[in-house]
Structure 1
Amino acid sequence: MLPITVVIADRQPAHRAACLRLLRPVKGVRVVGEAGNGFDALAATRLKPRILLLDLTLSLGPSSALLPVIRRKSPGTKVILLTDRASDARILDALAHGVPGYLERRSLRAFLAKAVRLVDAGEGWVPRQMVTKMVMRLRARHEKSPGR
């Protein structure tokens, strides 16, 4: 069985090192690259990783979103967003645009390997409290839709 290939893209070297330290001993998972900014993250997609661990704050400049470009350049790569804290709206927006996973850094030790495996298998990974917010957002959208 081929290993799950992973690229770690985070502006903080300590955060990249933590992910690497947690994933290195995991059987069936291989880190194939690292990136410290949005441009390097985009370049690393040429490696065609199955999973991209992406710092939510990375971009290609002040007004250029990184996620749509990554999806165009490497459509087979599944993204798991990593964050310390972010607005619910920003996370929900990313999930609504096809990001299958979101993980808070404080949960890395407990859930990183599991999240990588499940997202690679086609499942989503979001914290429980985010699921409730997603349901509320869908409900609000449904209630606003014409024909209701």
Structure 2
Amino acid sequence: MIRVLLADDEAMIRAGVRAILSADPGIEVVAEAADGHQAVELALAHRPDVVLLDIRMPRMDGLAAVAELRRAAPGTSVVMLTTFGEDEYIARALSGGAAGFLLKSGDPRELLAGVHAVAEGAAYLSPKVAHRVIAELSGGRLAHGTTARKRTGVLTPRERQVLALVGAGLSNAEIAARLHVVEGTVKAYVSTILTRLDVRNRVQAAIVAYEAGLVDDAPR
């Protein structure tokens, strides 16, 4: 069972999102928050697997809350859920440590897929957000490629394989199946990779993998 905390300052939005999540027998909403500060407090109290955070909330907005959650509850994955798709919000959310970014205007199936993906250790971006991120990466890939290749040069060949698959969007279970190892081994590799690359989460690691050209050579 995936335990979810939902944070949004609009009660009607929370009700709608809760209804969508409740339709999935593998998801349980364990708490709701009306602002970022309350979201952090409830996350520490309930230790959910996933926190769904709105960006614009009173007291503490979602962008500040995700940074605090990454510090205080590193075992909890955070997905930003918002009506705003501006590049500024996307960049700040991902750099702050969010594992996913979903638009409220998206298909409800994206919400369920996103919750499952981040709970399994993967990253998830709604298709519209993914398009923006890929466009940004493509524009800066040549400029950042040399730096990214130097950063990944400290990794072992096996770690680079795992990083390439992380960059391709695979979950730990999918990577384990692809490389014919147990999932626990993949988790250990990912933890080491994040430390050696000095990145906060899989999204940031995936960006490094893309810029270094590793995704093109991901094991098939």
TM bin (shorter chain): 0.7 to 0.9
- Alpha carbons of structure 1 residues 31 and 88: separation in structure 2 relative to 1, 3 Å: same
Decide which structure has greater helix share. 2
Distance 1:43 1:140, change over 3 A: farther
- In structure 1, the partner of 2:11 is 13
Name the structure 1 match of 2:124: 125
Counterpart contact for 1:53–1:81, Cα < 8 Å: yes
Contact 1:81/1:102, CA 8 A, preserved across alignment = yes
Q: Alignment identity in percent?
A: 29
Contact map agreement 1:60 1:66 (CA 8 A) in 2: no
Aligned partners of 1:70, 1:141: CA distance in 2, in Å? Answer: 32
Corresponding residue for 1:28?
26
1:38 and 2:40 are equivalent in the alignment = no
Q: Which amino acid aligns with 1:85?
A: F
- Distance, in Å, in 2 between the alignment partners of 1:140 and 1:88 is 20
Task: Point out where structure 1 has 5 or more consecutive residues left out of the alignment.
Answer: none
Q: Give the C-alpha shift of residue 144 in structure 1.
A: 9.3
Higher share of residues assigned strand: 1
**Structure 2 alignment gaps of length 5 or more:** 148-220
Aligned residues: 145
CA RMSD of aligned residues (A): 2.7
* Equivalent pair of 2:99/2:118 in contact (CA under 8 Å): yes
Larger radius of gyration: 2
Task: Kindly state the Cα deviation for residue 73 of structure 1 after the two structures are TM-superposed.
Answer: 1.4
TM-score, normalized by length of structure 1?
0.84
The structure, 1 or 2, with the larger RCO (C-alpha pairs under 8 Å, 6+ apart) is 1
Deviation, 1:49, is 0.5
In the alignment, is the contact (CA less than 8 A) between 1:81 and 1:103 conserved in 2?
yes
| Superposition TM-score, scaled by structure 2 size | 0.58
